[in-house]
Amino acid sequence: MLDSTRNGRPRAADTTAARARKGLLVVGSFVLVLYVIEIINTLMLRSLNGTFGLRPRSPDGLLDILTFPLLHANLAHLFSNTLPLIIFGFLVLLSGTRVFFTTLALSWLASGVVVWLIGGFNVTVGASGLVFGLFAFLLVRGFFNRNWWQILLSVVLFLTYGGILFGILPTVAGYVSWQAHLGGAVGGVLAALLLSVPRAGAPRTRQ
């Protein structure tokens, strides 16, 4: 294990402030990419949605799992995902980039797989599955880690944003992909389980 101190002080990269700055940079860069893609898609009359949107149960649609969260139906659709992505993504990134990218990847994959398996007949686009994955991760990780601060944060987030969880139910508006939301949430829970901290007394691997 590498020493993370110098002259008795933690390295800058290990401080909360440094992680916060890095978190804002990473999340901000990802959101900026979404807006650049949205501008290009608009100029191309949304032709990217037909090419790279997720088509359920289509063999070609398996590749669309890699691209569909990057596209949106319109600018308003992207606007609705922007703030939750920034807030939830930033909070996850405070735990480190490995945690963030693992959670993002599992949410992305699970969201796409569920849409491909049980999605409707329409092409699905949008980053809301990632929003649900990051949110679900934040809600449950404290219980897996037995961390009271993380549990307290999950309670605050649930009281503030818990209403979005209705988005995983099939009873929501027909134009909303509850399948993407459900899959993303499953991915977030899986990430929390995978990244959970071993309990006291459990064997630890050396770094």
Does the pTM surpass 0.75? The reply is: yes
What rounded mean pLDDT belongs to the chain? 88
| Nearest-angstrom CA–CA distance, 150 and 95 | 11
In terms of residues, how long is the chain? Answer: 207
Q: Hey, where are the domains in the chain?
A: 10-194
Tokens at 114, concatenated: 């569920």
pLDDT in tens, 143-169: 999 999 999 999 999 999 999 998 888
Cα 134 to chain center, whole Å?
4
What is the per-residue DSSP string for 136-170?
HHHHHHHHHHT-HHHHHHHHHHHHHHGGGGGGGST
pLDDT digit string, tens, across residues 62-92: 999 999 999 999 999 999 999 999 999 999 9
Look at residue 166 in the predicted model and tell me its pLDDT: 87
Q: What is the pLDDT of residues 97-130, one digit of tens each?
A: 999 999 999 999 999 999 999 998 889 999 999 9
CATH architecture of 10-194: Up-down Bundle (1.20)
Whether the CB-CB separation of 111 and 130 falls below 8 Å is answered with: yes
